[in-house]
Amino acid sequence: MCGIVGYVGSRNSVPILIEGLQRLEYRGYDSAGLALIQDGSLMVIKKAGKVVDLVDLIGDANLCSHLGIGHTRWATHGEPNDLNAHPHWDCNKEIAIIHNGIIENYATLKTKLEHDGHRILTATDTEILVHLIEEMYKRADDLFTAVRLALLEVEGAYGILVISKREPDKIVAARKGSPLVIGLGENENLVASDAAALVDHTRQVVYLEDGEVACLTASSFVTKTIHDQEIIKQVEEISFDLEQIEKGGYEHFMLKEIHEQPESIRNSLRGRLLVHDGTAKLGGLEPVLDTLYKAQRIIITACGTSWHAALVGKYMLEQLTGIPVEVDYASEFRYRNPVINPGDVVFVISQSGETADTLAALREAKSKGATAIGIVNVVGSTIARETDAGVYIHAGPEIGVASTKAFTSQITVLSLISLLLGRNRGLPQDQGCKLANDLQSLPEKVAKIFGEASHIQDIAEEFKHAQNFIYLGRGSNFPTALEGALKLKEISYIHAEGYPAAEMKHGPIALIDENMPVVFIVPKDAIYEKVLSNMQEVRARKGRIIAVANEDDREIDSLADHVIRVPRTYSYFGPVVNSIPLQLLAYYIAIARGCNVDQPRNLAKSVTVE
């Protein structure tokens, strides 16, 4: 959730840290701060608000430091104010820490530390940790050891960077549950919670694992477990460009990422779709293919938008493979002692690959003997590394907090898996070819929808003052409706609900009146007529209908107040196409209401706390 960056080397760390924080601001943005070692002294500068407020605070101060750490916060313990902003320091102001995660036993540690004379000034769990390190520093020879010893007493999740003015050339980093990646440069080393902050400086990276502690100087790094065993780490190469994480002429990351979808879907399919054979080839699944072919049941677990993609996956997988599929919120799965039988395969879907609940669900599934398959975007992320096998969605970096291109790529990858398994379980080749052709045409169909943008903008203008929205769809467009509603509430703060269209008459219909906009996803599929009946029911109660319908559908004109046209798509893959206008509608409504779409209130990308 929080953004972390550290630098040690021959250059001035300050602009590097600020720029890194700006790249990481999507992870949290309620306060920001730096700790620097300058001329042998340790200074901390921090401020509630955005990174730009920190930059204003620094103003013309001539800061020049060759070692520093920076943080952008998403508050968990303690309100977002100047005092609670990171970095935090110890009683003697010799050690500074930044932290992402939650120290669960902080209350017990706090009582003990206060009893030992430590003065705790903030409401954060992080400050407890720096005092614990201070305590350990009294008996350890160096900061590296002190941090290690302190972490042995900590329960919870952390990605931390710690510096001390007594060892002015070192950054100590440690992770458990919150990602950290070290960037190796020439006469400099960096460390960050996300490779996005490093890519400008180096492509050589080392991913820290849970339970590992690293000590960085400008010319070296050492890694140990918290139990003092030295580990040799593998150096890996970052594969994405800086350009991919910049706005590229768009006003917002979200709009850029919506428009990237033809390309991101193409990338998800690239080299995997065998159109002539009517099947797919997924190298990442090869180690588990036998198990997968014989699966008795598939359980898909995820959170938020990724959970919606999982629901779409259920429709496709069950229809094309005949394997029963269950979809579970990761946060529920992890605590409900789920029944896992031999022959069950668990799919874990996550854009970031770091979501705490999803990671815990994965570990729960594995501890019960399930084969776990990851469908992940961020390469090298924890979920990607801990699953038995997996398929990267290759959507490219997603910076906008509201997920867009990851959703359509997740569905694309689920389609490929459905096709592969379906063919193995008896789906005829001609049907496989038809599906493969349809999949291949998705990028083109998605690109066509951008022609509707100004029409959607007009609709957004008309409905920008609405207080509620209902989204309705059936079949695999029910999860599309859920996703449309989620996008709207996330970025415009309008209350929105998604329902299966037929479910409306069992309750939500009571809400329909002339002030209620109802978005219907109504492609010409097998249940088209049924959805038309649901539209009639809304119309009879004067609800205002926005329909997402096929280009050649004229019947819809007499029922809907507004029609957004989308190309026809085979029904299982329809959500990829149908979700695009819903993303645009949410975006334009949020803009019309003056909302910050890339950094909506209370949210953060990558939810690494429970």
With respect to ligand F6R, which residue has the nearer C-beta, 94 or 257?
A: 257
Rounded to a whole number of angstroms, the minimum distance from the CB of residue 537 to ligand F6R is 30
In the complex, the smallest distance separating the C-beta of residue 190 from ligand F6R, rounded to whole angstroms, is: 23
Q: Report how far apart, in Å, the C-alpha atoms of 504 and of each of 78, 283, 507, 586 are.
A: 41, 43, 6, 22
Non-local CB neighbours of 473 within 8 Å, separated by 6+ positions: 479, 480, 481, 498, 500, 501, 520, 521, 522, 531, 578
Phi-psi region of 186 (alpha: psi -120 to 50; beta: other; left: phi over 0): beta
Give me the amino acid identity at 395. A
In the complex, the smallest distance separating the C-beta of residue 166 from ligand F6R, rounded to whole angstroms, is 39
Q: Is 358 in the site for ligand F6R (CB under 6 A)?
A: yes
According to CB under 6 A, which residues from 108 to 147 bind ligand F6R?
Answer: none
Instruction: Provide the minimum distance between the beta carbon of 473 and ligand F6R in the complex, in angstroms, as a whole number.
Output: 18
Nearest-approach distance from CB 487 to ligand F6R, in angstroms: 7
Strands in 311-398 per DSSP E: 325-329, 344-350, 371-376, 389-392
Beta carbon nearer to ligand F6R, 26 or 478: 26
408 binding ligand F6R? (CB under 6 A): no
Bridge-partner residues for 345, per DSSP? Answer: 298, 371
Judged by CB under 6 A, the stretch of 44-52, 123-131, 269-277, 302-310 that binds ligand F6R is 302-310
Q: Which range, of 27-35, 348-356, 360-368, 525-533, touches ligand F6R by CB under 6 A?
A: 348-356
Of 403, 409, 412, 608, the one binding ligand F6R by CB under 6 A: 403
Angle at 283 between CA 301 and CA 577, to 5 degrees: 55
Closest separation in Å from C-beta 478 to ligand F6R: 17
Q: Is 188 or 490 the residue whose CB approaches ligand F6R more closely?
A: 490
Give the span between the Cα atoms of 273 and 438, in whole angstroms: 11
Indicate the Cα dihedral angle 161, 166, 168, 169, nearest 10°.
-80
Instruction: Give the residue with the Cβ less far from ligand F6R, 403 or 480.
Output: 403
Q: Among residues 352, 412, 480, 492, which is the contact residue for ligand F6R, using CB under 6 A?
A: 352
Other residues' Cβ atoms within 10 Å of the Cβ of residue 516:
19
Nearer to ligand F6R by C-beta: 279 or 351? 351
How many chain residues touch ligand F6R (CB under 6 A)? 15
Measured from the CB atom, the residue of 223 and 358 that comes closer to ligand F6R is: 358
Q: Please give the backbone phi and psi of residue 517, each rounded to the nearest 5 degrees, phi first.
A: -75, 135
Question: Which residues in 383-485 belong to E strands, given as ranges?
Answer: 389-392, 468-473
Q: Which of 205, 214, 169, 207 is nearest to 184 (CA)?
A: 205
Q: Of 147-155, 211-219, 298-306, 466-474, which segment contacts ligand F6R by CB under 6 A?
A: 298-306
Instruction: Give the containing element (helix H, strand E) for 51.
Output: helix 51-58
Is 605 noted as a catalytic residue in this protein? yes
Residue 490 near ligand F6R by CB under 6 A: yes
Among 13, 38, 84, 305, binds ligand F6R (CB under 6 A): 305
Cβ proximity to ligand F6R: between 226 and 362 the closer is 362
CB of 366 to ligand F6R, least distance (A): 17
Answer for which of 65, 306, 579, 599 binds ligand F6R (CB under 6 A) is 306
CA distance 71 to 46: 9
Q: How far is the CB of 345 from ligand F6R (least distance, A)?
A: 19
Check residue 397 for interaction with ligand F6R (CB under 6 A). Answer: no
Smallest distance, Å, CB 305 to ligand F6R?
3
Residue with the shortest CB distance to ligand F6R: 304
Which pairing describes strands 562-566 and 544-550: parallel, antiparallel, or unpaired? Answer: parallel
Nearer to ligand F6R, 156 or 179 (CB): 179
Euclidean distance between CA atoms 256 and 313, whole angstroms: 26
Residue 395 sits in the site that holds ligand F6R (CB under 6 A): no
Tokens representing 30 are 């309620």
- Cβ neighbours of 505 (radius 10 Å): 12
* CA–CA distances in Å: residue 349 to residues 75, 167, 299, 418, 595: 25, 42, 11, 15, 29
Kindly state whether residue 350 participates in binding ligand F6R, applying the rule CB under 6 A.
yes
- Residue 355 binding ligand F6R, by CB under 6 A: yes
User: 430 is written with which tokens?
Assistant: 């001609």
- The residues in 307-346 that bind ligand F6R, with binding defined as CB under 6 A, are none
Instruction: Give me the residues paired with residue 517 across strands.
Output: 544
Neighbouring-strand partners of residue 1: none
Among 38, 351, 382, 550, binds ligand F6R (CB under 6 A): 351
Residues near ligand F6R (CB under 6 A) are: 303-306, 350-352, 355, 358, 402-403, 486, 490, 606-607
Q: Which residues have a catalytic role annotated? A: 2, 605
